[in-house]
Structure 1
């Protein structure tokens, strides 16, 4: 459920673009990934991160027929971990969605096929793809009760269990992230802000100390699926927001 009653009011800007821009900043992306993957250990270096084209489009060839496919990711970065290159994707999901493992599989498969198609034909036999890992940051207020992997949606004969390939959704619930793993103050403010909102007892006094920058406050509103709050925040002239004053 959204925190606020939805109204037919025009947004000044597209909320998903604001979220994407926040995590396209390498220092924000790096901090979140180090927290989710390595419990805050700095295995991803900001200097190794390179923003990639998130528009995942490619083609597959079947019986002389070319089929084009495409998916729009939220954020995709290339980086190195322990000296090895990897492509890291981040998706925001504000509602529970049973199809998430399927979508992650689509993103990753298309990215692998992109890498293959970009190789010269005479080099494809020796081609080594860059590993692709997509993480989903679930920011909804409900518990994630849908599958975390593709195989959870299947009925598999007992004799074939362990043989069928799986695809993990890599879904992380924002309510479970330990904020002490975060080092970047902006990312920490956003994650802690979302957690505080979901723990809120509806007493505005309890949010007196929740003060965010305007950018951080808008990202929190987006991640809690509060369109009316986004609209209200975009009209704010102050760059420092006391959340108790803007929340109904």
Structure 2
């Protein structure tokens, strides 16, 4: 029903998705769905926002040109394992359109994050050397990284807010111009992690524990005329307004709730929209009859159906376009 996306201001969808995906509970939900099949392993309270600007000198002490990229959302996950704190960097990249070079883009982001960690280690040794005289041997000085140092793993997850199948490459190897297996065995590959609404079965949307699942499921079915997938679906009985607003922006839907309520009953709103669509269809049919068969003027038709003249003109314009 909502397969025709409304015109939006440049960057409006990008801003809306970035804002929605900045919440700790939403990010935890996305990664738990993708990595842990919906099990609540990553807790929102274990996530800490970190700077999304990746600035690095990726080649150690002899580098002199900085590289900077801005990520959509970046979190540091701190979890306890064997009575020790373990840290993982979690990155979210939002796409409302298919990005055919996303593997290269994400590979660069992750590489910059690793290079940033090396740079921070180098800086810490430089600062500490003034007080504690921490010395690096010649090999360690070359990289600014000690032999026993370890990096935090970086996981980037692409959340796709489109209803089409992702037909772009999902790895570096898929983007290369050769397919020789022997040769490619020497070329490091990089695979993207992707949440793709069209590939999620309806029963698996329940593995989301936040309204991100409702957003993804609505996007998947936005072109469906049959609303059986939403009727009786308890997930849509209480959807937070922010999620509903995101659905409206992405799909062009016009769900509205009570200003006093923090949630929207999308099932009821869907049924109301279906009724309104039927009424609009009957009204447009009446306008068409008055215009073509009765040969009434637009002002007279507007008075007859109690609608503005502009509305009548728009209906007649669409009617003529359909006949071409």
Deviation at 1:127, TM superposition (A): 2.6
Q: State whether residues 214 and 233 of structure 1, in contact with CA within 8 Å, keep that contact through their aligned partners in structure 2.
A: no
Kept in 1, the 8 Å contact 2:103–2:191? The answer is: yes
Aligned to 1:115, the other structure's residue is in SS state helix
Partner of 1:124: 145
Q: Distance in 1 between matches of 2:93 and 2:190?
A: 16
C-alpha offsets along residues 40-80 of structure 1, whole Å, 9 cap, x if unaligned? Answer: 12221223211111222223459966222222211111114
> Are the counterparts in 2 of residues 49 and 79 from structure 1 also a CA contact under 8 Å?
yes
Residues 7-51 of structure 1, C-alpha deviation per residue, up to 9 Å, x if partnerless?
4x658x944333223222212211121011110122212232111
Of Structure 1 and Structure 2, which has the larger fraction of its residues in helix? 2
> Hey, what does 2:140 align to over in structure 1?
none
For residues 192-224 of structure 1, give each alpha carbon's deviation from its aligned partner in whole angstroms, at most 9, with x where no partner exists: 3323324x21x67986765533211122234xx
Q: Report whether the alignment pairs 1:183 with 2:204.
A: no
> Secondary structure of the equivalent of 1:87?
strand
Alignment root-mean-square deviation, CA: 3.3
Residue equivalent to 2:222: 197
TM-score by length of 2: 0.62
Tell me how far apart the structure 1 counterparts of residues 44 and 60 of structure 2 sit (CA, whole Å): 41
For 2:14, the equivalent position in structure 1 comes to 16
Q: How many residues align?
A: 237
Q: Which residue of 2 aligns with 1:134?
A: 156
| More moved, 88-97 vs 73-82 | 73-82
Deviation at 1:91, TM superposition (A): 1.1
The 5-angstrom pairing of residues 89-128 of structure 1 reads 89-120=91-122, 122=136, 124-125=145-146, 126-128=148-150
1:220 is matched with 247
- Tell me how far apart the structure 2 counterparts of residues 246 and 117 of structure 1 sit (CA, whole Å): 55
Q: Distance in 1 between matches of 2:40 and 2:23?
A: 17
Contact 1:213 1:241 in 2 (8 A): no
Quick check: which has more Rg, 1 or 2?
2
Quote the residue 2:173 is aligned against.
Answer: 151
**Residues 57-72 of structure 1: matches in 2 within 5 Å?**
57-60=55-58, 66-72=64-70
Identify if the C-alpha distance between structure 1 residues 138 and 181 changes in structure 2 by more than 3 Å, giving closer, same or farther. same
Whole-angstrom distance in 2 between the partners of 1:206 and 1:35: 21
The structure-2 alpha-carbon separation of the partners of 1:238 and 1:95, relative to structure 1 and needing over 3 Å to count, comes to: farther
Q: Secondary structure at the match of 1:129?
A: coil
Question: Aligned partners of 2:61, 2:42: CA distance in 1, in Å?
Answer: 42
2:189 match: secondary structure: coil
Counterpart contact for 2:89–2:155, Cα < 8 Å: yes
